[in-house]
Each structure stands twice: as C-alpha cells, then as structure tokens.
Structure 1
Amino acid sequence: MDTNLPFSDKPRVVIVGCGFGGLQLAKDLANAPVQVVVVDRNNYHNFQPLLYQVATGALEADSIAYPVRKIFSGQRNFFFRLADVTGVESTTNTLHTSVGEIRYDYLVLATGSLTNFFGIESIERNAMQIKSIPNALNLRSFIFQNFEKALLTADPVERQALMNIVVVGGGPTGVEISGSLAEMRKHVLPKDYPELDLGQMQIFLVEAGPALLGPMSPASQADASRYLDELGVQVRLGTSVKRFEDSKAYYSDTEFIPTENLIWAAGVNGAALPGLPDAVVTRNKRVTVNPWNQVEGLANVFAIGDVANLVTADMPKGLPMLAPVAQQQASLLAKNLVRLTKGEAPQPFEYTNKGVMAIVSRNKAVVDLPKGVHFNGIFGWATWLFVHLMTLVGFRNKVVAFVDWAFSYFSSDQALRLIIRPFKRRDMRDDQGKRTAEHLTATADYNPGPPAIQEA
C-alpha cells in the first residue's frame, strides 16, 4: 500500500490531477506542514488553452507541456506518482490507482473535465476532439492526411468532403480553432497544395445557441462574428449536428454538410471519480461542494476546478470552468488545509472575475474585463498573447512560444506541418487508451436548437 511513499508524521494531502488547480495547490502547499502527493496519468502539466495551436501547427507540443517533476524539483514535501485513478473509498481514506492504493488524510479532486458528446454515439465514434496533446497531434495529422488524399482522388464529392472542416461549438475553443484554420487556409495550404483549389475548402462553425462566445459580452460576440466572417468562416447559429457518419455531418434527418473533418468543441463534463456518493455527482459529472470546496458529506475530501460544482447566488449553475477559477480555489484551499491541521475553521471561497478573452486570428481578439470594459482588435490580440505567454509554465516554453509566434506573424507561415504519427479513426481513444462513455452522457441543459444550414 501507498506505492512506496515515505512515512511521514505530517498529514498527507493527495491531489488527483496536475492541471491548473492541482498545480497551483501543490505549489501553495510548499511550506505547509503536510506531505503533498500528486497523482496524474501524465508526467507533464498541459496548458490546454493553446492545444488548438498545436493542432493547427502553430506551436510545438512540448512548448505547452512541462514535466511535473521538474516543476517541483526542490520542493521537499512533494511526491509524484504516474498512474490512472480508478476510484476512491472514502470510508477507509483510500485512493485506488493503477499502481496500487494510496492512503490519504485529505483528498483533493482536481481531475478537470472530459468531452461531452451528449450521448450522440456516431459523433463520439467519428469526431475529433481537443482535450489533450495526443488529441491535438491526432487532429493535426488527420487534417493533413486528408489533404494528401484529396490530391489523389478524382471524385469531386469525395475531394470536397476531405477538404471541408466543421467545428461544432461556438465557445472560445471553437472560435479560436476556426480562426486558426481559416488563416491556415489563406497562408499555409496554398503553398503546400498548389494543385488543389483551396477556394473550394469550406470551414463551418456550428453553434446550437443564439450567439458565439455565450458567456462573453454582446460586443465581444459581435466582434468575433465579424472577424470570422472576414476570414470566410461560415458561422451557423441555432444549429446542432445530430449525427456524423459516412462523411456527412447531419443537422437534420436529411440535410448535411459533406466532410471528413468534424471537430467537436461543444461541451464538457466534469471528470468525477468512481466511489463518490451518487448524491454529490451532478448530471454533468461535476461534484457538488460547499463554499470552502469540501465535497458535500465528506469531511476530508475536496474538489476544485472544472470538476467542482460550487453554486452561488450569482452562478446558480455553478462557477464557470475556467483556469482562474481553479487557481483561485486552489490558493484558498491551501490556506484552509493548513487551518484544518491547526483545528481552525476554513474560510469560504469568493471568485474574483479578472476577465475573459478569445483570439480569432492575427490582430483580431476580444477581451472583456470587469465593470463592462471591452476592447478588441490588435490591442486585444496583444493582451491575449501577453497573458498566455506569461501563464505558460517554464522559461523555455515561454521563449519557444514567443519565437514560434513571431515567426508565424512575420512570415505568414507555420512550420510544424508534420504527420508524425498517422492517424485512423479506429485509433481514437481517450488519454487512458479506452472509451469513457460513462462520463459522456447527455445533460438536461443541452438545447440543440433548430437547424439553420441550408441543404449542402
């Protein structure tokens, strides 16, 4: 038991997941009188907001990832175990993993989220997603493989399907990857594929709701729509993709968009662990917590970040799944854990909104700050670049990302057009190498809306 972790007379805090929340919590506990154990299926921290740039060849995969052990080298109370977590047994304070059982005094779930396919099996089976570095590399390979196939086919219908790209979901991820693909169509693909008529390539952004960037201001929504229209992205609002099969993305029983490339960015579920009481797991697999991020009914189990469902008067459906939320929860939880070890009462969490932003393309971004402050264009673009550059983990990653961005900006090119691991749909798996359909069920809040695309 305990996977060869050293004995300590100090309380053991086990953190499941080293995303934004888990990373921040482990750092903030560096000088606390506890033993910190982080368990993750990957040995690196993944900067998810830039995954779409890996998928479109703008950044190297290793420029948005950083080894966990290197981040915490020198932190004497830190220990790491590479493992899949298979469940929790709260009655015995035991975490079950693929490498053995780990005892805990305090358990923190920072497991993040998983793609929500809303129970649509054909989309889960055939669509691409962008939740991990393997996902991003698969998507990049798949797109370029299909363009290679388009060169070889004499069938115009098949060629059109190989070149068309449909992005489902009008949130920041969907908007950003649509803009990046449009720039790639304009600046990159004509150089690599002069034999193809790139004017026939169509990029669709399909959103079930009435507007793009739903949580952002109307000004940002309008700016993003205008930028995408300028880039030639066909935005379809109030539209849902009902199934995806036989190179067709159906938005009604008979109407479809011909495509081999469907990118699903329409929703996420929390990654709740097996073994938690059913009463605390919501329909979208988030875990209900109280104001100090304690899982309801479990005195020594906590949840932060995307997996935590903290309901407030202002946020009746729970706090948003954003990195700043996870980081702020982690910082307060670190202080509260120290208070608990001293027998003191924890303090409640209060979220400070520092703003949201989304980039569409070069010199085009939207930024919403508190108190109704909004700006866009090149100033918003520069703000987005600066914030993301400073948030990357590791000096090397900051330098590499800056150099790659500068090269792309001044050359209108992206050098990372590599098919380094050819991808086939039958290879599609999650990070654990298997399907996790139990985490991908539909939510009651999903409203697909009426179809809006005319027959393709």
Structure 2
Amino acid sequence: MDQHFPKSTKTRIVIVGGGFGGIELAKKLKDKDVEVMMLDKHNYHTFQPLLYQVATGGLEADSIAFPLRKIFKGQKNLTFRVTEALRVQPFENILETTIGTIEYDHLVIATGSTSNFFGQNEIEEHAMPMKSIPEALNLRSLILQNLEAAQIITDPILRDELLNFVVVGGGPTGVETAGAIAELKKHVLKNDYPELNLDEVSIYLIEGSPELLGNMSVQAQRKSEEFLKELGVIVMTNSRVKAYDGKVLSLLDGQQINSSTVIWSAGVKGAVLEGLNTTAIVRGNRLKVNEINRIDGHDNIYAIGDVSAMITEEFPNGHPGVAPTAIQQGKLLAKNLWNIMNNLPTTPFKYFDKGAMATVGRNRAVVDLHKIRFQGIFAWFTWMFVHLMTLVGFRNKLVVFVNWVWSYFSYDRGTRLIIRPYFKESNDESKLDKVS
C-alpha cells in the first residue's frame, strides 16, 4: 500500500509522534492557515508515567491511552495517519513511511525515546523494557505467569527464578516499579496466593550510582530508599549489571541473582529517524538542536521532547526527558514556525522547571519543587493530583481516580489478568508448559 501524499498550496507541517510534544504543537497550530499532518505508529497517545501501574495490575491499559483522532476532533487543518516513519530525504523534503512518501515544508521529529541497553545484546534479548503499553502488558503477564507457575514448581532454583523480581535503574520509573511490586506482594499476593510463602518473593532494585533518583534532592534520595526498604525491597546501589541470560543476572562485583523477571529502566535513548545529519546525533542518541529546536545541519527539520538535545550552559546534556519539557517545546515551536513563515523574529526556548517527584507506594512519595521539598503522605497526594491533571481526557482522569480510591481503601488491585500469555522466546516453552 504505497501511497503518495502531494502537498496542497498551504504550508505543510508534518509531525512524527503523538506524544506530549507532538500533541501540544498540533493543537497550537489549530487556528493557523497551514496544513498539519501527524503520524504515529499507534492510533493513541500513551501516558507513559503510569505505565508501571499497568504492568503491576493497578490500572488497565485503556486508562492511560487516549485516541489521537479524538484529541483532534474538529481540527479541520489536521490529518492523522497510523504509520511508521522510516527515513527522511532532507534535500527533497520527503519523508518515507510504511504507507508511502509524504512531502513536507517543515518536519518535526517528536518520536520520543526507547529503552537504552547500551549495546548489551544479551540483556536486550532477555530483559523486560517498559516504554509502551504492549511492553507493560507483556510484563504484567510475565509476573502473573511466574506466580502461577511457582504454585506448582518445587525445584528451589526454578522457584528462585520465578519469585525474584529485579528492577534495574534507580530513576523515577525504577523506584516506582519496585515500590508497586512490593505493594503487590504486601497487600495482594497473600490473598490471591495463600499457599505461597511470601518470604520466598524478593524484589531487588539495582542502581549503578551511589544514590537513587539522581536528579532529585538528597532528602528525596534518602527518603525514597528508606521507603523502599520499609516495603521490603532490597536496594543495591553502586551495583552494575554485567550480563543476563534470562535466568541469572550477573553483576560486575561477582554477585548473581536467579530471576526470570528483570525489568530494565536503566536508561533511554532517542528514537532517531534515518537520513538526518549524523553529526547532530549526540549523547543518548538525541538530536542536537538550536534555541528554537531546529536540528543542526537542517533548515526546516526540528526535534522536540526526549529525542532532542538543546545544549546550554544550564543544561550541558540537554533538557530532562520529562513531559513538561516536550509540552513547553511544542507550544513554543508552534509560535516560532508561524513566525518563520511570516518572516517575524523567533523566540528562544527557555525551560521552566516545575520540579520533580516520584512515588514509592501508598502514602509514600517524594516531591522537589525547587527549594520546597517534602516527603510522605502529602507528597503522595501531590503526586496523584499532578498526574491526574496531566492525563489526557476526562474519562481517563475519572477512571484512574476511581481505581486509585478503590485500591486505597480495599488494599486491592483489580486488573490481575493474563489476557495474552507472554513467551520470552518463541522457540522455547514457557515455565507453565514445562510443569503442565
């Protein structure tokens, strides 16, 4: 199905990616006399900060996904297509996609990021990433399958593999995931699996640096570790992963952990398209951009959000890969693109840092709002409020709120379903098959 999408007489702005930045950019162009075309490989926007709750049975996937077409309902100057962008032909102003070639006047790369395994192919093959809804659902299935299999297997080594859950990476995603699994153990497993010895279930959090939540305050770092240890998580800082073969995780210091569930949140890299100026690709596989998010070496191609790196004195490695960065860059780029088309001055990007936060579990969270820092139950309510307000769509806000209230008072998680069994290797039998 190779199609060609010829341009109209209007200026065409093609946006690749329906994340926070891409959506904000497209919305701000709603009333402009331009042709906007958005492309994404999914027909929905994913609220990535809550993926870990889908993976641990706290929320269903449709609670954190919202149809992109519904977001832009009524926006007459926008066309949306489900496709995967393959390659840019910058000299011809053409984007190659899985549904054909698309001409553009201005191209915006808002493709976000993917898991970074730092070239360790064996780990990439066996560890579980969590950057998309399908990956979160795979992880949920694997966790539940392992718990089911552990009811039958008596071999102590195999039981260790099934009941040891390892999270690699002590950033917000890693801390929140480890905390969620620990709460699953504390509040749910004793009811769902009464014959299971909970002392056999171990949760590890492995971080290569000396502290968790490296970008947050010392108070937040210490308190998050304290919260995790209260929940029974084994926190291992200054520990680096050497290898993982699907059964045994090996650390550089010689320690080994038997586990068939290793969750990888140790780093991300930009999802860069082929055909772009390779000298613009910097640390983290991000695209170096100037103060208006134009990619180095290109006149009419821009990058926003996680895939972009705006190098400044204040941010020598680029801005943080969080939703506020993408949203702010998307808003400003819409204004600057219109100014460029009308030969008006552009405005350089200035990041407004709203702070950082992370939750470890029920009544446990850490919040840094510049010089205002607090932890505990108030921080937890603050975290919930901010995430509810950032969710796209009233229905999603309501569903998530009801789920959280129910979980808070019932100490339960209602979506422990294996909808589609997950098999790590298609040429290998699952643990469940081996014992059936």
Letter in 2 for 1:192: D
Tell me, in whole angstroms, the C-alpha distance in 2 between the residues paired with 1:111 and 1:7.
23
Letter in 2 for 1:90: P
Tell me, in whole angstroms, the C-alpha distance in 2 between the residues paired with 1:56 and 1:27.
33
Structure 1 residue 8: Cα displacement? 2.9
Structure 1 residue 2: Cα displacement? 9.8
Q: Structure 1's 380 and 253: CA in aligned 2 closer, same or farther, altered over 3 A?
A: closer
Letter in 1 for 2:163: M
Asked whether the 8 Å contact 1:2–1:102 carries over to 2, the reply is no
Structure 1 residue 252: Cα displacement? 3.2
Asked whether the 8 Å contact 1:162–1:261 carries over to 2, the reply is yes
Greater Cα shift, 69-78 or 251-260 = 251-260
Identity %: 53
* Residue aligning to 2:145: 145
CA deviations 1:381-415 (Å, max 9, x no partner) are 11110110011111111111011111100000001
Asked whether the 8 Å contact 2:239–2:253 carries over to 1, the reply is no
CA deviations 1:88-112 (Å, max 9, x no partner) are 0100000000000000000000000
Letter in 2 for 1:389: L
Structure 1 residue 283: Cα displacement? 4.0
State how 1:417-456 maps to structure 2 within 5 Å: 417-426=416-425
Greater Cα shift, 99-108 or 27-36 = 27-36
Give aligned pairs, total: 427
Asked whether the 8 Å contact 1:25–1:334 carries over to 2, the reply is yes
* Residue aligning to 1:70: 70
CA deviations 1:39-72 (Å, max 9, x no partner) are 0000000000000000001001001000000110
State how 1:26-425 maps to structure 2 within 5 Å: 26-245=26-245, 247-252=247-252, 254-370=254-370, 372-425=371-424
Greater Cα shift, 91-100 or 152-161 = 152-161
Tell me, in whole angstroms, the C-alpha distance in 2 between the residues paired with 1:331 and 1:8.
25
Tell me, in whole angstroms, the C-alpha distance in 1 between the residues paired with 2:62 and 2:246.
34
Tell me, in whole angstroms, the C-alpha distance in 2 between the residues paired with 1:324 and 1:427.
39
Letter in 2 for 1:109: I
**SS of alignment partner, residue 359 of structure 2:** strand
Asked whether the 8 Å contact 1:19–1:112 carries over to 2, the reply is yes
Letter in 1 for 2:394: F
Structure 1 residue 120: Cα displacement? 1.2
Letter in 2 for 1:353: D
Asked whether the 8 Å contact 1:33–1:338 carries over to 2, the reply is no
Letter in 1 for 2:386: V
Asked whether the 8 Å contact 1:291–1:310 carries over to 2, the reply is yes
**SS of alignment partner, residue 425 of structure 2:** helix
* Residue aligning to 2:434: none
Q: Structure 1's 90 and 123: CA in aligned 2 closer, same or farther, altered over 3 A?
A: same
**SS of alignment partner, residue 188 of structure 1:** helix
Tell me, in whole angstroms, the C-alpha distance in 2 between the residues paired with 1:31 and 1:75.
8
* Residue aligning to 2:17: 17
**SS of alignment partner, residue 347 of structure 2:** coil
Tell me, in whole angstroms, the C-alpha distance in 2 between the residues paired with 1:351 and 1:215.
16
Q: Structure 1's 258 and 2: CA in aligned 2 closer, same or farther, altered over 3 A?
A: closer
* Residue aligning to 1:444: none
Tell me, in whole angstroms, the C-alpha distance in 2 between the residues paired with 1:394 and 1:267.
29
CA deviations 1:266-320 (Å, max 9, x no partner) are 0000111100011111242100100110011211100000000101111111111
Structure 1 residue 253: Cα displacement? 7.2
Q: Which runs of 5+ in 2 are unaligned?
A: 428-436
**SS of alignment partner, residue 88 of structure 1:** strand
Q: Structure 1's 72 and 279: CA in aligned 2 closer, same or farther, altered over 3 A?
A: same
Structure 1 residue 265: Cα displacement? 0.3
Tell me, in whole angstroms, the C-alpha distance in 1 between the residues paired with 2:173 and 2:237.
16
Structure 1 residue 7: Cα displacement? 5.0
Tell me, in whole angstroms, the C-alpha distance in 1 between the residues paired with 2:426 and 2:282.
31
Tell me, in whole angstroms, the C-alpha distance in 2 between the residues paired with 1:64 and 1:216.
26
* Residue aligning to 1:432: none
* Residue aligning to 1:435: none
Q: Structure 1's 116 and 342: CA in aligned 2 closer, same or farther, altered over 3 A?
A: same
CA deviations 1:404-447 (Å, max 9, x no partner) are 1111000000010000000011269xxxxxxxxxxxxxxxxxxx
Q: Which runs of 5+ in 1 are unaligned?
A: 429-456
CA deviations 1:92-142 (Å, max 9, x no partner) are 000000000000000000000010001111110100011000000000000
Tell me, in whole angstroms, the C-alpha distance in 2 between the residues paired with 1:317 and 1:69.
34
Tell me, in whole angstroms, the C-alpha distance in 1 between the residues paired with 2:109 and 2:318.
16
Asked whether the 8 Å contact 2:277–2:298 carries over to 1, the reply is no
CA RMSD of aligned residues (A): 1.4
Structure 1 residue 225: Cα displacement? 0.6
TM-score w.r.t. length of structure 2: 0.96
**SS of alignment partner, residue 30 of structure 1:** coil
Letter in 1 for 2:257: I
Q: Structure 1's 391 and 21: CA in aligned 2 closer, same or farther, altered over 3 A?
A: same
Tell me, in whole angstroms, the C-alpha distance in 1 between the residues paired with 2:191 and 2:258.
25
Letter in 1 for 2:29: L
Tell me, in whole angstroms, the C-alpha distance in 2 between the residues paired with 1:175 and 1:284.
21
**SS of alignment partner, residue 349 of structure 2:** coil
Tell me, in whole angstroms, the C-alpha distance in 1 between the residues paired with 2:399 and 2:127.
30
* Residue aligning to 1:431: none
Tell me, in whole angstroms, the C-alpha distance in 2 between the residues paired with 1:72 and 1:6.
22
Tell me, in whole angstroms, the C-alpha distance in 2 between the residues paired with 1:2 and 1:392.
35
**SS of alignment partner, residue 158 of structure 2:** helix
Moved over 6 A (4+): none
TM-score w.r.t. length of structure 1: 0.92
**SS of alignment partner, residue 241 of structure 2:** coil
Asked whether the 8 Å contact 1:2–1:103 carries over to 2, the reply is no
